[in-house]
Chains A and B, each alone.
Chain A
Amino acid sequence: MVFFKRFIVDVAYAVQTSKGYQKKKRFFYNLLENDENKYKKYFDSFMIALIFISVAILIREVKHELHYHLVFFNSYVISIIFFIEYLLRLWVYGSVSQTIIKRYEYDSYLGRDFNLSKALGNILNFKLSYVFSVRAIIDLLAVLPFFHELRLLRVFILFRVFKLFRYTKSFQALASVLGSKKFEFLTLAMFSSIVIFVSSILIYVMEANNPKSPINTLYEAAYWSIVTISTVGYGDITPITDEGRFVAMLVIFAGISVLAFTTSLFVSAFTEKLDEIREMKTVEDISKIKKFYLICGYEEVAKEVALSLRKKHKNIIVMDENLDNVKNAKNDGLMAVNYNPGSISSYEKLNINVSTQVESILCLKPSDIENVYTALTVRSINKEINILSLLINEPNRKKLEYAGINEIIYPQELVGLIVKELVGQPVAFEAIHELRSEESNINIDEIVVTQSILQNYAMIGELDNKRYRIIILGLYKKTNEDFYFNPLDETFLEEGDYLLVIGNKVFIKEFEASLHKKSLI
């Protein structure tokens, strides 16, 4: 027995430390459970397609003879796929090896013999907790049509429809909405049951002894009660005695209140949860964006910056604790969230990965205090991220620098510099202003030198810019962070350098594309 236990522990350690095994398990876990996994949506779509095919076959089967292959596909192929999925879910739910190791280490620590049966008990416990979960039961029932020879089991195909809950978020949201009003729905169910029960008995007592009455059994009485209370009232069964009609009047009044109660419950549940559902959707959408600019505070400058960046096809997310500002941002067609950018929990709740997802943080509130607070919050999460901020009062500049803000924009200073250039060289200023303007056809742009460009061009002189009527203003060297104006033809290009070019927008694009192809001339 000791050897067996030793063997079990060794196997558990081997499994736990096996990179290949863990990698596979992680892959299947992500595929089945992780919404952020890029393959999950394809897997879910595939399963949803199987469900609809299955239901379509069931409907077709009612009045038509099905081809053998179709029956085989429905009964075996789909069932086996569902069964494999069931087993995979059971597998990735918790870790057997980890439970054994945990128990072994716990017992060793206390100087006791390894209690294998306790470890197995724990494993059985958590695996059974999965097996008896509603979702797992639905999954298992969806496999039952495999035994299609038993006609009754074919109906279980409909359980496959319930599997849709697993693959679609909106169904889950609906379930959570209804779940939030559990107590109210329970009260409604109790009230309706009592009304149905009492009215069924009453109508049965009043009508059953009358030979002309269509209500002869308790079942018919219950059927009549439910049809009446739901305000459907088919009219196939109606009371004929005065007493019975009196009961009917009471049931109709009760029915109206039940219906009103039910409707108000649904409406209030959705109203209360609507914002939460929208927020869940926003969080989900944000997690799907690979790179974006995070604008903290949405007022005048932020609005213009967002518009300008959007024109350049950049992803933007606005974060503001002021609800009106968030509404304005949404009205402007931006993705906006009502969170405080100065709070770490906002980034956690929104599941924002500052280091990988955010290109730059823009603190654009018209308050130095709030911008410093936001900058320090972001800095405490990530030391490297680029932070740009507005400076409202010049004496606060040092505080912004101390908060770790990389770029400080002081509008008053900008105006001073602009005026200086304007009064000195208006034509040159206008020319440069035009080059920077997105509206103009002639632009200044930067082209990053990539490995692909270097394979075709090694020196400035080799570039074919004249053909595209493009001026190479200079070369920004990444290695020493220097700008070489009007570089000589013999200047070597290096990966990561930037070419600063002036020319027609379209020609610049064509020129950039040409750099990646070997010149034929």
Chain B
Amino acid sequence: MKNTTAFVFGFNNYASEIIDNISYEYDNVHIYSLDKEDEKNEKYDIRSFDLSDEWSEMENLINSQNHIAFCVLEDDAQNIFLTISLRASFKNLVIVSLAKNKESSNKLEMAGANKVIPIVQNTADIISNMLSKPIATKVLHSVLYEKSDLKIAQIVIENEEYFKREFPGDIDWSRYRGIIVISIMSQDLSREFIYSVKSKHKLLRNGDTLVVAGYEADILEFEKLIGGKRYVNWSNWSR
């Protein structure tokens, strides 16, 4: 299911990368910049905005249920103010904000961002993982970010009968050739590793999400078997 519109607030290198990577997912991507000069940009259609705006103009544009906003202003203080302004006006809007460091990250969460991406932390984690677990990092990077036949997907169960009231830990997942089930997210939003103690004693229900790894064709076959489908449920992102 395609989301309709994404709003990107701030225009810089981070914003460009985000726009390039999400444009396939959204019908419309609206870009707003604090710098009026950016309106002259030939590649993107950019509008200017002001942090003191009342957002009344946008209220008609933003449909909180299906829209998403990215706050990528370079100044952390401004980004926090932007996030809190959006949250104050749009209670159910999904807000993704960039933070330079942990301190700003915490403040952005307090300001109401659904998801905060701490840039320095993420970069450092990637570097550290590349050095300590080079193979795992390489494989996961290619699965997650590069064009690879191997995929990691989330599938929502819609035919619980298929599992015949077996516990996840007892199911011989190898019967689904080519598929590896990594974790389960229950409807109560708790996420458990497939072999964890909890998942050993919890039956699979309709609405539970399975995180699986496998080749595209195998995943499709698996989806048919369990009567599930891949889709994004934004409500999973709790604040």
Contact = CB atoms under 8 A, between A and B. Distances in A.
Interface of A: 293, 300-301, 303-305, 307-309, 312, 314, 359-360, 362, 364, 388, 390, 394, 407, 409, 411-432, 434-437, 442, 444-446, 469-471, 473-474, 476, 483, 485-486, 498, 500, 502-504
A435 B145 CA distance: 16
A309 B144 contact: no
Contacts, number: 195
29 contacts: A304-B123, A304-B124, A307-B124, A362-B127, A388-B127, A388-B131, A411-B122, A415-B17, A415-B18, A417-B145, A423-B25, A423-B68, A425-B152, A426-B115, A426-B237, A427-B233, A428-B152, A428-B154, A431-B152, A431-B154, A436-B140, A444-B136, A446-B133, A476-B135, A485-B215, A486-B213, A502-B193, A503-B193, A503-B195
A409 B153 contact: no
Interface residues of B, number: 71
Contact of A411 (B123, B129, B133, B137): B123
B58 to A, nearest CB: 20
A466 to B, nearest CB: 9
A382 to B, nearest CB: 17
A446 B138 CA distance: 11
B128 A305 contact: yes
A473 to B, nearest CB: 6
A471 B174 CA distance: 11
A184 B145 CA distance: 68
Contacts of A312: 128, 132
B203 interface: no
Interface stretch (B38-46, B95-103, B105-113): B95-103
Interface in B165-179: 169, 178-179
B60 interface: no
Contact of A421 (B120, B144, B236): B144
A471 B180 contact: yes
B182 interface: yes
Nearest to B183: A431
Contacts of B117: 415, 418-419, 422
A500 B136 contact: yes
Contact of B193 (A301, A359, A416, A442): A442
In this complex, the member of B117, B133, B191, B236 whose beta carbon has the largest number of chain A beta carbons within 10 angstroms is B133
In this complex, the member of B17, B18, B22, B96 whose beta carbon has the largest number of chain A beta carbons within 10 angstroms is B17
B182 A502 contact: yes
Contacts of B140: 432, 435-436, 444
B42 to A, nearest CB: 18
Contacts of A503: 193, 195
B229 to A, nearest CB: 13
Contact of A314 (B132, B142, B178, B234): B132
A409 B123 contact: yes
A62 B171 CA distance: 84
Contacts of B234: 426
Given A420-B145, A423-B68, A428-B154, 5 more contacts: A419-B70, A425-B154, A431-B182, A445-B133, A476-B139
Nearest 9 CB-CB pairs, A to B?
A416-B17, A304-B124, A469-B195, A308-B128, A420-B21, A427-B154, A417-B145, A416-B21, A431-B211
Contacts of A411: 119-120, 122-123
